[in-house]
Chains A and B, each alone.
Chain A
Amino acid sequence: MPPRKDVPSGTLDLLILRLVARGPMHGWGLMKRLSELTDDVFQATPGAVFPALQRIEESGWVTGEWGVSENNRKARFYTITKAGRRQLEKEREHWNAITAAVSRVLEGA
């Protein structure tokens, strides 16, 4: 198993935006999904996810609403906003540009 690392904080914001872009999600669901998708490479701990949610909600990229989860528990659901989608596109392009550049250097050198 590869060593588990904390997700770099800016990146975590991007990943959360990407996940909620598909539909509203609550905090636990986000954490679970993040761990699954990254094969536990990134440790989406409460200590990282909660602050990230706080940040992107304050930035107006997601809105949080209390609702009822699939197993009938109270949970706060996060929905992406228009601004959030724009931000996601921007971040995604930025990410692609950077990773492409990094890859070019790593592979080409």
Chain B
Amino acid sequence: MNGTFSRLRAMLRRWLGGAAASERALDDEIASVLQHEIDARIADGLSPADAQRTARAAFGVVEPIKERVREARTGAVIESLVRDTRYAWRGIRRSPGSSLAVVGSLAVGLAITVAAMAFIHALMAGGYPGVTDQQRLVGVGLIRTAAGEPTEYAMRSEADYLALRAGLDGLQGLAAFSNAAVTAALPEPRSFTACLVSANYFDVFGTRAVLGRTFHADEDRTEHAAVAVISHRVWQRDFSGDRSVTGRAIRVADAYVTIVGVAPEGFGGTTPGSIDVWMPLAMSRYVALDSTIAERQRAMAFVGRLKDGVNVEQIRRAAETIAMQRLAAEGRSGQHVKAATWNVAWINGSDYPIVILSITPIPLLVLTIACVNASTLLLARGARRSHELAIRLAIGAGRSRVVRQLMIESLLLGLLAAGAGVLLASRGLQIAGREISLSMPIDGRVLTWTLLVTLICVVMSGLAPALRVTALAPFRTVGANDANIVGARRGPRGRGLVVAQIALSIGVLATATQLAATVAAQGGSAGTPSDRLLMASFDLDQLRFTPEAAERFYATLVDRASSLPGVESAGLARSQAVWILRSNDPASLIVWQPGAMAKEARVILGGYAGGDLFRAVGLAVLEGRAFVPEDRHGWPRVAIVNDAYAKQMPGPALGRTLHVGLVQRGGHIDDGAFAVGRDVEIVGVIQSASEPRYNVDGKPVPKIYLPVPLQPEPALTLYLRTRTKAETVAAPLRDLVQAIDARVPILEIGSLATWNERSMELAPFLMRAATFMGLLALVLAATGLLAVASYAVAVRGREFAIRMALGSQPRGVLALVLREAMRLVLAGFVIGGGLALLVAKLLQTGFRGAQGLDTTAFARSTALLIVVMLLASAVPAIRASRVDPVTALKEG
């Protein structure tokens, strides 16, 4: 025990005094002992030369002795690690080119993996920002169906809410909310997404205000509580993070409200980042939701928080019982109610899981390609250093020691790559995060995973080359041809890796483009290309326009917009009349077949079609005619249906008379609704717009259009077909709106492509990410090919020299190298194409609406690959063709 301090002191002295001094002392002592041995042997009568020789032989090799002494020292493990690290660092600095290539490859692979981990972490574990214990959140929905009626109605009125809230005692609380696009004046006009909520909304989400307060319990009942909570983003963007913002009044739609609090950053209930302002439900009367349209427009969603030990199924049964009682009390026994409950976790109940699952392998594939790359590069680098390694092995360094040094070198490279990867990823996540309003921090957990993945990569990419380059016996390697190691001629390993890389990158790219096509095809489309249809939405109700003023505004708008430069035609309709791009703005009519009973109705989407709507969106008239100016006077007398609806009718659609009405307050379809309806004759059948997401049994949604609205339409969307890119007309349109009425804001504007993207939330982003990763994979694979081709060329310099000395033309050598590279590309292409086809088939069977392999995109990516690969192999090939036979043969 008493030796411990002394040992530590010795260790410290050695470390502080420098390792070199103690190494010198060791050398001196060994020399001294050897000299004594020689002296003794001379004294025994040997000649000095013999004495020297035999003494050295008896002594053995010096290096292992020194190694054992070093190992006997205190802190020997640390010291040798330090020594190995220093050695490894020198190795890295000696070949900066290949070090950079290894670090670059791994950094790209790791950056993508880190970003993917942060994304999935934010999505899964992170959950909704600002929400406490989200596992307990449960969504509740009620759907009412009448016997023999194909259409379903969601029960989501205030009365439905109150009944559920009173009856569901398995919940700690049930909140209701409803989103609406509103105009706010701060006083500068802004387009806001408002969320009208029950007072317990923030309690149910377990969310506290970061500044001020949320709502008091009675604030959703009294109309005097004109209060609002603003989002963190609005606070930062519009109020510059001013802490005295509480107490300030702003105008939202037609109401003055006092800001009482600021929500946590990113918080948006179940739609993070999308809400700008929250107000109590009672405020809906002042936020322009008091008209009849607004009443039926208001579709509330319900979210509850489960009590301990209660599951979603119990809530579902309870909700169904409550809803049935409500129907019975209203005397609607012929109708039936289905309740649905679901965990409101991040990705539940949406299309994401399949999308996420199908792109999760992509980062891993890219990382694998990067590791394979690093492995190839390290192998080539090891082979270049085979001479040095052989000497080290020959003078007695153990193989495990050399392997350890090489692994430390790999580890250093891996850590450098991880650092670079994290930096790249955090930059990328910042940009992507802004695009999808999701904060994806690289936190401790992600960093831990990164480190783990890096270590796995280091082992995956470093161990095999380290073992391979140290496996050869020293005597065979010293002076032997390096070609033995990578096997440019014989061993297929390096080439097999390249083929695998090419196959993987082709597979990734093909699958990514297929997924992108699949997602794109889910969006809305019609005859007009989606980048040539500009859509701009308005809501005049919030501005208290009279119906007449609103009508005048829209008439002027559609008239003058159609003569804007670059506009081919202009139409007006509700934003859901053509495609269901927004869920909170239904555009539906109730339709009775001739002679039907009042309650035998169907809800059909469509409604008013103003201006030249069908030409603007590109829906051709298949039968009959389009609307003519005479149709637009007084009450609607004619209608146009789409092909999908026409096909559902018994017999020809044209000339048929339908009775068309509007859904009344509370979503009731009854005699009242029938009474306000009108008889219309079908005068035309148009093409059905495509929106596969909402297809029923694979068929498009039936639609019906009227030349005149059944009631004033304050909220409409302008559809402009443009000659070139839709966005070019956005600025002139803004000016036009400003000129017609400066008070009117455009709520949302963009091409159909943009609207589609927004309606699909994460999916388009994920697809772009997948395509990006596919391209990176391709670049990595090209680097791999470059590495192997240039290495093979380097070690075959002698062969090429002989070929050229025997009369081969440089062009012949060039062709030879290119041919071999292309053989690898072709093999990779066949395997990768096969993989992509397999994945495509799997996706098509597993995912409804999946597109087949996009052959044009596949051909394009293959062409790209071949070009990249040609370039990658051309560089070393040209180098090979310039080999000077004399020099090469002399060196060999």
For the complex, give the distance between the alpha carbons of A7 and B823 in Å: 62
- Assuming the contacts A83-B2, A83-B3, asked whether A58 and B29 have C-beta atoms less than 8 A apart, the reply is no
Most A CB contacts (10 A, CB to CB) among B3, B25, B29, B37 go to B29
Q: Which residue of B lies closest to A30 (CB)?
A: B33
Q: Is the CB of B33 within 8 A of A31?
A: yes
Q: Which of A52, A54, A55, A69 contacts B36 (CB 8 A)?
A: A69
Q: Is the CB of A52 within 8 A of B39?
A: no
- Assuming the contacts A58-B11, A60-B3, A87-B3, asked whether A51 and B69 have C-beta atoms less than 8 A apart, the reply is yes
Q: Is the CB of A50 within 8 A of B30?
A: yes
For the complex, give the distance between the alpha carbons of A45 and B58 in Å: 9
Q: Is the CB of A45 within 8 A of B60?
A: yes
Which B residues touch A71, using CB under 8 A? 36, 39
Which B residues touch A29, using CB under 8 A? 36
Q: Which of B32, B64, B69 contacts A54 (CB 8 A)?
A: B69
In the assembled complex, A75 has its CB within 8 A of some CB on chain B: yes
Q: Is the CB of B29 within 8 A of A59?
A: no
Which B residues touch A31, using CB under 8 A? 33
Q: Is the CB of B7 within 8 A of A50?
A: no
Residues of A within 8 A of B (CB): 26-29, 31-32, 45-47, 50-52, 54-55, 57-61, 69, 71, 73-76, 83, 86-87
Q: Can you offer 26 A-B residue contacts whose CB atoms are under 8 A? A: A26-B32, A26-B33, A27-B29, A27-B32, A28-B36, A46-B33, A47-B60, A47-B64, A50-B72, A55-B72, A57-B10, A58-B7, A58-B10, A59-B6, A59-B7, A60-B3, A60-B7, A61-B3, A69-B36, A73-B35, A74-B28, A74-B32, A75-B33, A83-B3, A87-B2, A87-B3
Q: Which residue of A lies closest to B31 (CB)?
A: A74
Which A residues touch B33, using CB under 8 A? 26-28, 31, 46, 75
Q: Is the CB of A73 within 8 A of B68?
A: no
For the complex, give the distance between the alpha carbons of A61 and B36 in Å: 25
For the complex, give the distance between the alpha carbons of A61 and B672 in Å: 108
Report the minimum CB–CB distance from B643 to chain A (whole Å): 92
Report the minimum CB–CB distance from A82 to chain B (whole Å): 10
Which A residues touch B10, using CB under 8 A? 57-58, 60
In the assembled complex, B664 has its CB within 8 A of some CB on chain A: no
For the complex, give the distance between the alpha carbons of A32 and B25 in Å: 21
Q: Which of A58, A60, A76, A87 contacts B32 (CB 8 A)?
A: A76
For the complex, give the distance between the alpha carbons of A22 and B10 in Å: 25
Report the minimum CB–CB distance from B363 to chain A (whole Å): 49
Q: Mark contacts of B1-15 with chain A using CB atoms, 8 A cut-off: 1 yes-contact digit, 0 otherwise.
A: 011011101110000
Which A residues touch B9, using CB under 8 A? 60
In the assembled complex, B65 has its CB within 8 A of some CB on chain A: yes
Q: Mark contacts of B538-557 with chain A using CB atoms, 8 A cut-off: 1 yes-contact digit, 0 otherwise.
A: 00000000000000000000
Interface residues of B in 52-82 (CB under 8 A from A): 59-60, 64-65, 68-69, 71-74
Which B residues touch A46, using CB under 8 A? 30, 33, 59-60, 65
Report the minimum CB–CB distance from A19 to chain B (whole Å): 15
Q: Which residue of A lies closest to B74 (CB)?
A: A58
Q: A71-B36, A73-B36 are in contact. List 9 more A-B contacts (CB 8 A).
A: A27-B29, A46-B60, A47-B60, A50-B29, A55-B72, A58-B3, A58-B74, A74-B32, A75-B33
Q: What 4 A-B pairs come out closest when comparing CB atoms?
A: A60-B6, A59-B3, A28-B36, A51-B72
Report the minimum CB–CB distance from B5 to chain A (whole Å): 8
- Assuming the contacts A31-B33, A71-B36, asked whether A54 and B73 have C-beta atoms less than 8 A apart, the reply is yes
Q: Is the CB of A28 within 8 A of B2?
A: no
Which B residues touch A47, using CB under 8 A? 60, 64-65, 68
Report the minimum CB–CB distance from A62 to chain B (whole Å): 11
Q: Which residue of B lies closest to A32 (CB)?
A: B40
Which B residues touch A83, using CB under 8 A? 2-3, 6
Most A CB contacts (10 A, CB to CB) among B32, B33, B59, B69 go to B33
Which A residues touch B39, using CB under 8 A? 71, 73
Q: Which residue of A lies closest to B75 (CB)?
A: A58
Report the minimum CB–CB distance from A5 to chain B (whole Å): 16
For the complex, give the distance between the alpha carbons of A29 and B69 in Å: 19
Which A residues touch B40, using CB under 8 A? 28, 32
Q: Which of B35, B36, B69, B74 contacts A50 (CB 8 A)?
A: B69
Most B CB contacts (10 A, CB to CB) among A26, A47, A83 go to A47
For the complex, give the distance between the alpha carbons of A28 and B29 in Å: 9
Which B residues touch A32, using CB under 8 A? 40
For the complex, give the distance between the alpha carbons of A76 and B26 in Å: 10
For the complex, give the distance between the alpha carbons of A75 and B72 in Å: 21
For the complex, give the distance between the alpha carbons of A58 and B6 in Å: 6
